[in-house]
Structure 1
Amino acid sequence: MVVFFIFFFTLFSCQFHPSTAQTWVKSGYWYAGSDFPISDINSALFTHLICGFANVNSSTFELSISSNFHNNFSIFKTIVKSKNPSIISLFSIWNGQPQTYRSILGEKANDSVLSSMITQSWRRRSFIDSSIKTARLYGFEGIDFFWVWLNSTDLSNLGVLLDEWRAAIASEPRNHSVSQLILTMAVRYSPSREIVTYPIESMKRNLDWAHIVAFDYHMPSRENFTGNHAALYSNSNKSGNISTDFGITQWFSQGFPAAKLVLGLPYHGYAWSLVNPSDISVGAPASGPAVTLDGSMGYRLIRSFIQNYGYGAQPVYNSTYVVNYFVVGSTWINFDGVETIKAKISYAKEKRLLGYNVFQVTNDDNWALSLAAQDREDKESNDHGILLKVLLPIASIIGLFASITYCYKSRVFKQRANVLSNARRSDPEKDSSAILEFGSNAPNLPTFSLSTIQAATNNFSSENKLGEGGFGPVYKGKLRGGQEIAVKRLSATSTQGHEEFKNEVSLTARLQHVNLVRLVGFCTEQEEKLLIYEYMPNGSLNLYLFDPIRRYSLDWTKRVRIIEGITQGLLYLQEYSNVTIIHRDIKASNILLDDEFNPKIADFGMARLFRKDVHEANTRRIVGTYGYIPPEYARKGIYSMKYDVYSFGVLLLQIISGKRNTFYYGTNNNLNLLEYAYESWKEDKGVEFFDESLNDSSSPCKLMTCIQVALLCVQENPDDRPTMLEVFSMLKNDINPIPIPKMPAFSKQKGEDADVQTGSSSHQEICSFNDSQISQLEPR
């Protein structure tokens, strides 16, 4: 028996001992022309960071740094090392921005400076010497060559350039404390182009690694059909062999070693405009880019775009291609999300690649993708160590002990196992320890064990994901008794935190009303923060209001029911509960719809509670959603019941119009939603403002009444706004005549600073879109 375990231990050690001690590369690009400060880069998540880009002079073939980039190049190394002293910094050389962009789009760019440089010896020498000099001048520890779309002549000459470059780096005079420069290169997903391939042998000799540009396979600016721009795997019936796995297999078949390949991870995606919104398949006809000028969207913008649709809006993860999709109306977006990044890291580990390279780090959203990459990488990397350091010694000790005392102890072990098994079966649904923190503030609110929620949500699988908001992702689940639930899970990158979680638990548990979403329970086990709600099968209101197809599901009868339900919910909060509650985040995405489209107000993380004799309060911490917050709060931090009245007025205008509050309207597209509503009402042109699908002829609740009441709610002075009780009466035609509204808040005609509202609102959506449009000079 002892001999067996010695053999077992030796075999296991050999099987799982790491084959190499080579560093796993976690690299990323940062563009020096970006508005994203170097100091905001979380360099602790990377082993290498690449500062781009240097240009090549068309006459001397020496490198030049734009005067606008000079300062960023100078301070890059110092700043990124302040957070991660071991990080290695490189700078990147490219083909020149216009040429590179044209080549990415598939246009001819063969007359580039680099193509001229590579053909003659003196030009190559000037280029190489200048690159080494530039690296040393700015303190970089390596050089990256970003030249992806080489033609056949370029590929023929590339091997000579790399041989000369490596020789120059090796022969560079330097003292012993200065390391030899690293040399890397960006390469196409496949080594073959037409009938010529990359010079594999020269690359193996001279490059520290080659990072595969494993993205931009399909783009809306060059194709009239949807496509996966960074698919790990392909479906030959739809997208041919254009996939990362196909390309990497080709690199292997050409003899390029996995230990010198780094996988490119795109932190951007693309949006297509569908010809037929009902055809959302890969390869569906498209009329061109959507959202931005060329359809490109950084991950941060994509997250913001999706979150704007609120509860029920969720991207779909496709494990066949290993991609994420988000489709709404005629907009079709393809990108890499957290699930995709994790899958690609596992793939890179499985293929024994050297690491991964991000393009670009500035497109991440609170470092969600980089954290996902690191989590997966850490898990994969630690497997061997865990087996050796934990499982093997324990297995060996237990095995040896068992072999000596088996007969004597077997009955005791069996009895103990039975005791433990019975203990585990006692009550897995409830976790009494979790109630200690919130018990006094959460009357009769059950706590759930983490294992129960994991079982209900299939371990928080992407298939169960309903959407994501500021708090974090929301998952659909089913408890053992069959009850369907929605689980909000606090994200590590959430903009909300412990206070919002505690606030929502303590407040929501006390509120009982048919038009308020019901909190079923919570879980704080193992540092998790989970809120468990009743499941709303129809998602959030904004999924319907702003969707060109779904909006037809909400006829005027349903919308009147929704308006009345929201009004009743707010009346309860302000008038009929034991205390006055200010929600502070009433908006379309926080109105959930049950199976009969009855509305329920959700998300009380930012709510505040007043005694009945207190009417307003002040805060320095401005929270809420721009576009829905009143002027007195935006400017002075003052909030009262009239805060929610204002938000309700904005929401009511959206319900009757189907229009967003972050766009501009009117003949000259210069009016915000409130201004446009006021002008339409004042000029008796409400029909131009209302959703054209609505017909109020058979309803006692009229559209013109709604717009007038909404305009009363969004007046500048909170004292001019009605109470929710008055709003309810006016909508029921119990108050006649209805007062005449003054010009709404944030109206430019009044000389007010409209930027406080519309400008800040655009920070949430429009500005994000414009940023992408303006930043066309910045590479994706």
Structure 2
Amino acid sequence: MTSIACYNLATNVCHHSSMAMALTIPTLFLLFLSSKFPFSSAQTWIKSGYWLRRSELPVTDINSSLFTHLICGFAGLNPSTYQLSISSSDAQSFSTFTSTVKQKNPTVTTLLSIGGGSVYSWTLPSMVSQSEFRKSFIESSIKTARSYGFDGLDLCWPYLIWGLNTRYEMANVDALFDEWRLAIESESANSSGSQLILTMTVQLSPYLDNASFPIESIKKNLNWVHVMAFDYYRPTSWNYTAAFAALYDPGIQWSTESGINAWIDGGLSANKLVLGLPFHGYAWTLVNSNDTAIGAPAKGPAITDDGCMRYKDIKAYMQGSGAVSEYNAAYVVNYCVIGSSWIAYDDVEVVKNKVAYAKKRNLLGYFVSQVENDDENWVLSSQAALEDEKNPVIAPEGEKNPVIAQKDEKNPGRNKRHFLLIMLPTAATVTLVLVYSSWYKGNKFFQPRKVFICFCSLMQNCSGYVPPEYVKRGTYSTKSDVYSFGVLLLQIISGKRNNCLHGPREDLKLLDYAYDLWRCGKGMEFMDPSLDDTNSSCKLVRCMQIALLCVEENSADRPSMLELSVMLKNETASMNIPKRPAFSTRRDENEDEVQESTSQQEIWSVGDVSITQMVAR
């Protein structure tokens, strides 16, 4: 089975500037406006579902009564004319989609999604690059939506980093949204139809490597965006079992909450965000069938070629084997173990809690990917559609999770405060003192402002700085703070975010990206171009090597803080060769398996830490 397409949706909500004059405009004109702009200040809670053209589920079998909006995907894009293309084999199902789903629910709104896997990765970047290309695309999209009877359009281009990763290129996307909105308003003003809805499917975070999504343009021109809150980890690229759509993550940085926070902190209001609910899961093959915790070592996909499974197939597989589902409240995920197969997925309780979370955060609604993946009783869609105010607004609690057994299970936020309490006095203080001292002595490539920004990032959210021994076992070592120091140092010398993907294909986390460049002798390509170490005794590449030593998987292989001080201050001090960093999604040939030190004298749990145990290092 190939990976399930996970892109989505749209609906109708928009504020037109003329509405502000409502009290002074004649009633008949108000009625005219309401027919042209079907949006009000009291926005409708969106319950949307995504249907793909090659779905095994016929359009006639969709239970549209469970949704306020349904999205049909995908329309393609001609790489020469930049006009929408719908194959002859898909034309019939697309042209009857709206009329068919309205038979069971006359009020349902339909949208046509453009892009997804049906468009070459270079076609969309090329389309936005020139005004005449954008004009052809925009006119074609509006014409196609009208002729096929859709109520709106969705641009399914979640990974904007594929082809667009500079501020200049992002300005073209800004222009596309401006021109698209103007064209939609103009078309509506000159026709009898309601104004088309305009939405976009986006990735978890608005931040790219060298740019970010054009949030101001999105606010002004799009009705909302659909956040792909899933597929953070896959068994084809992640060598540990994982909550692939974790609502929270006590360990690393990828979680739904971190993504929602990033969009809101970036300036997009919560009521412009529609939360993605995955109706699929992933199966990993365990290295050790007795180690079944989240974060357990794995060796690739299980059951299917890429590990991806539909919800209904997961439930059937479990029923056939008699497997029991486990619910992890810290991550908000279900998982089950069948032999050496470990399957993560969202079941009824997870869906209920995610919808409750969306309401608590005042999001606009949710979309499911995809309606086909639900079981024959529509159990997940039915649960999501229940607008029951009694749904629990979740704060994770009561979970006996082996991965975090020694943490505060009732309050993941407290776990992060524990981390800051224990790590910050050493990691952040040493970073600030050493780096500022280096700058003060003439090594001005360490700019205090850059250090301060990175320090504030750590203070605000320790995600991404947490060492592997804590993520996997809930324990700290005497060198856990060294790991945090290494991550922080890599951010300082590169000027890059730790919560973005990097590299030529934008598929590497910061640590992997740094290691690959250092290993190939291209370390300077990693550095912030504004930094200059020409007249400094502390060279940037040396700092990079030191940082990579700090972020190794095995805590015993990391240097001590005293050794760090010597290496940073003495350019002749000897250093080891770094191994691939912790949480790496890659493996080098002939690379020794990393075995973590678990000696009693080096590992402590959070609850055991006291001042008398903190010895000088």
* 1:299 counterpart residue number: 311
**Candidates 374, 396, 408, aligned match of 2:385:** 374
Counterpart AA for 1:231: A
Following superposition of structure 1 onto structure 2, how do residues 529-544 of structure 1 map, counting pairs within 5 Å?
none
In the alignment, the residues of structure 2 paired with residue 43 and residue 114 of structure 1 have an alpha-carbon distance, to the nearest angstrom, of: 31
8 Å contact kept, 2:74–2:118: no
Please, what TM-score do these two structures have when normalized by structure 1?
0.44
Deviation at 1:82, TM superposition (A): 0.3
In the alignment, the residues of structure 2 paired with residue 283 and residue 382 of structure 1 have an alpha-carbon distance, to the nearest angstrom, of: 27
Counterpart AA for 1:178: G
Following superposition of structure 1 onto structure 2, how do residues 190-201 of structure 1 map, counting pairs within 5 Å?
190-201=205-216
- Deviations along 1:265-315, one digit per CA (max 9) or x if unpaired, are 1100100111111111222222211111111001010111111123xx321
Task: Tell me: CA distance 1:314–1:381, structure 2 relative to 1, closer, same or farther (3 Å).
Answer: closer
Deviation at 1:21, TM superposition (A): 2.5
8 Å contact kept, 1:184–1:210: yes
Aligned length: 352
In the alignment, the residues of structure 2 paired with residue 320 and residue 98 of structure 1 have an alpha-carbon distance, to the nearest angstrom, of: 38
In the alignment, the residues of structure 2 paired with residue 29 and residue 244 of structure 1 have an alpha-carbon distance, to the nearest angstrom, of: 19
8 Å contact kept, 1:95–1:113: no
* 2:224 counterpart residue number: 209
* 1:164 counterpart residue number: 179
* 2:52 counterpart residue number: 31
Task: Tell me: CA distance 1:176–1:116, structure 2 relative to 1, closer, same or farther (3 Å).
Answer: closer
In the alignment, the residues of structure 2 paired with residue 301 and residue 199 of structure 1 have an alpha-carbon distance, to the nearest angstrom, of: 38
Counterpart AA for 1:243: S
In the alignment, the residues of structure 2 paired with residue 381 and residue 305 of structure 1 have an alpha-carbon distance, to the nearest angstrom, of: 29
* 2:94 counterpart residue number: 73
8 Å contact kept, 2:51–2:371: yes
- Deviations along 1:679-705, one digit per CA (max 9) or x if unpaired, are xxxxxxxxxxxxxxxxxxxxxxxxxxx
In the alignment, the residues of structure 2 paired with residue 285 and residue 135 of structure 1 have an alpha-carbon distance, to the nearest angstrom, of: 47
**Candidates 261, 267, 275, aligned match of 1:249:** 261
- What SS does the aligned partner of 2:356 have? helix
* 1:362 counterpart residue number: 372
* 2:201 counterpart residue number: 186
Deviation at 1:177, TM superposition (A): 4.2
Deviation at 1:157, TM superposition (A): 2.3
Which structure 1 segments of 5+ residues have no match?
1-18, 100-108, 384-460, 465-780
* 2:271 counterpart residue number: 259
In the alignment, the residues of structure 2 paired with residue 196 and residue 247 of structure 1 have an alpha-carbon distance, to the nearest angstrom, of: 16
Counterpart AA for 1:279: D
- Deviations along 1:161-193, one digit per CA (max 9) or x if unpaired, are 111110110111566641000001001111111
In the alignment, the residues of structure 2 paired with residue 321 and residue 95 of structure 1 have an alpha-carbon distance, to the nearest angstrom, of: 28
* 1:348 counterpart residue number: 358
* 2:335 counterpart residue number: 325
Deviation at 1:81, TM superposition (A): 0.3
Residue 147 in 1 paired to residue 162 in 2?
A: no
* 1:121 counterpart residue number: 131
In the alignment, the residues of structure 2 paired with residue 291 and residue 382 of structure 1 have an alpha-carbon distance, to the nearest angstrom, of: 34
Moved over 6 A (4+): 461-464
In the alignment, the residues of structure 1 paired with residue 188 and residue 333 of structure 2 have an alpha-carbon distance, to the nearest angstrom, of: 47
In the alignment, the residues of structure 2 paired with residue 175 and residue 119 of structure 1 have an alpha-carbon distance, to the nearest angstrom, of: 28
In the alignment, the residues of structure 1 paired with residue 41 and residue 337 of structure 2 have an alpha-carbon distance, to the nearest angstrom, of: 44
Counterpart AA for 1:184: T
In the alignment, the residues of structure 1 paired with residue 245 and residue 182 of structure 2 have an alpha-carbon distance, to the nearest angstrom, of: 35
* 1:773 counterpart residue number: none
Counterpart AA for 1:121: S
In the alignment, the residues of structure 2 paired with residue 231 and residue 381 of structure 1 have an alpha-carbon distance, to the nearest angstrom, of: 19
8 Å contact kept, 1:49–1:90: yes
Residue 133 in 1 paired to residue 143 in 2?
A: yes
* 2:425 counterpart residue number: none
Task: Tell me: CA distance 1:330–1:156, structure 2 relative to 1, closer, same or farther (3 Å).
Answer: farther
* 1:87 counterpart residue number: 108
Following superposition of structure 1 onto structure 2, how do residues 525-604 of structure 1 map, counting pairs within 5 Å?
none
Task: Tell me: CA distance 1:67–1:229, structure 2 relative to 1, closer, same or farther (3 Å).
Answer: same
Residue 279 in 1 paired to residue 291 in 2?
A: yes
In the alignment, the residues of structure 1 paired with residue 101 and residue 119 of structure 2 have an alpha-carbon distance, to the nearest angstrom, of: 29
Deviation at 1:323, TM superposition (A): 0.6
Query: What percent of counterpart residues are identical?
Result: 54
8 Å contact kept, 1:56–1:64: yes
Following superposition of structure 1 onto structure 2, how do residues 674-693 of structure 1 map, counting pairs within 5 Å?
none
Deviation at 1:463, TM superposition (A): 8.7
In the alignment, the residues of structure 2 paired with residue 195 and residue 380 of structure 1 have an alpha-carbon distance, to the nearest angstrom, of: 43
Deviation at 1:224, TM superposition (A): 2.1
8 Å contact kept, 1:349–1:380: no
- What SS does the aligned partner of 1:301 have? helix
8 Å contact kept, 2:328–2:399: no
* 1:500 counterpart residue number: none
Q: Which moved more, 1:301-310 or 1:138-147?
A: 301-310
Q: What root-mean-square deviation, in Å, do the aligned CA atoms of Structure 1 and Structure 2 show?
A: 2.3
Deviation at 1:97, TM superposition (A): 3.7
In the alignment, the residues of structure 2 paired with residue 374 and residue 382 of structure 1 have an alpha-carbon distance, to the nearest angstrom, of: 15
In the alignment, the residues of structure 1 paired with residue 191 and residue 134 of structure 2 have an alpha-carbon distance, to the nearest angstrom, of: 27
In the alignment, the residues of structure 1 paired with residue 41 and residue 151 of structure 2 have an alpha-carbon distance, to the nearest angstrom, of: 23
- What SS does the aligned partner of 2:88 have? coil
Counterpart AA for 1:332: W
- Deviations along 1:364-412, one digit per CA (max 9) or x if unpaired, are 112101111122x2336999xxxxxxxxxxxxxxxxxxxxxxxxxxxxx
Following superposition of structure 1 onto structure 2, how do residues 515-526 of structure 1 map, counting pairs within 5 Å?
none
Counterpart AA for 1:182: I
In the alignment, the residues of structure 2 paired with residue 71 and residue 188 of structure 1 have an alpha-carbon distance, to the nearest angstrom, of: 31
* 1:315 counterpart residue number: 325
Following superposition of structure 1 onto structure 2, how do residues 641-652 of structure 1 map, counting pairs within 5 Å?
none
Counterpart AA for 2:316: S
Counterpart AA for 2:332: V
In the alignment, the residues of structure 2 paired with residue 205 and residue 196 of structure 1 have an alpha-carbon distance, to the nearest angstrom, of: 19
- Deviations along 1:558-608, one digit per CA (max 9) or x if unpaired, are xxxxxxxxxxxxxxxxxxxxxxxxxxxxxxxxxxxxxxxxxxxxxxxxxxx
In the alignment, the residues of structure 1 paired with residue 208 and residue 123 of structure 2 have an alpha-carbon distance, to the nearest angstrom, of: 20
In the alignment, the residues of structure 1 paired with residue 73 and residue 66 of structure 2 have an alpha-carbon distance, to the nearest angstrom, of: 19
In the alignment, the residues of structure 1 paired with residue 116 and residue 179 of structure 2 have an alpha-carbon distance, to the nearest angstrom, of: 19
Deviation at 1:96, TM superposition (A): 3.8
In the alignment, the residues of structure 2 paired with residue 128 and residue 120 of structure 1 have an alpha-carbon distance, to the nearest angstrom, of: 12
Q: Who wins on radius of gyration, i.e. which is larger?
A: 1
In the alignment, the residues of structure 1 paired with residue 105 and residue 175 of structure 2 have an alpha-carbon distance, to the nearest angstrom, of: 36
Task: Tell me: CA distance 1:132–1:98, structure 2 relative to 1, closer, same or farther (3 Å).
Answer: closer
Task: Tell me: CA distance 1:98–1:136, structure 2 relative to 1, closer, same or farther (3 Å).
Answer: closer
- Deviations along 1:25-79, one digit per CA (max 9) or x if unpaired, are 1111100111211111000000000000011111001110122211110110001
- Deviations along 1:717-774, one digit per CA (max 9) or x if unpaired, are xxxxxxxxxxxxxxxxxxxxxxxxxxxxxxxxxxxxxxxxxxxxxxxxxxxxxxxxxx
In the alignment, the residues of structure 1 paired with residue 384 and residue 193 of structure 2 have an alpha-carbon distance, to the nearest angstrom, of: 31
Which structure 2 segments of 5+ residues have no match?
1-39, 401-617
* 2:16 counterpart residue number: none
Please, what TM-score do these two structures have when normalized by structure 2?
0.55
* 1:40 counterpart residue number: 61
Higher relative contact order (CA 8 A, sep 6+): 2
- What SS does the aligned partner of 2:187 have? coil
8 Å contact kept, 2:155–2:201: yes
8 Å contact kept, 1:231–1:323: yes
8 Å contact kept, 1:56–1:96: no
Deviation at 1:155, TM superposition (A): 3.4
- What SS does the aligned partner of 2:225 have? strand
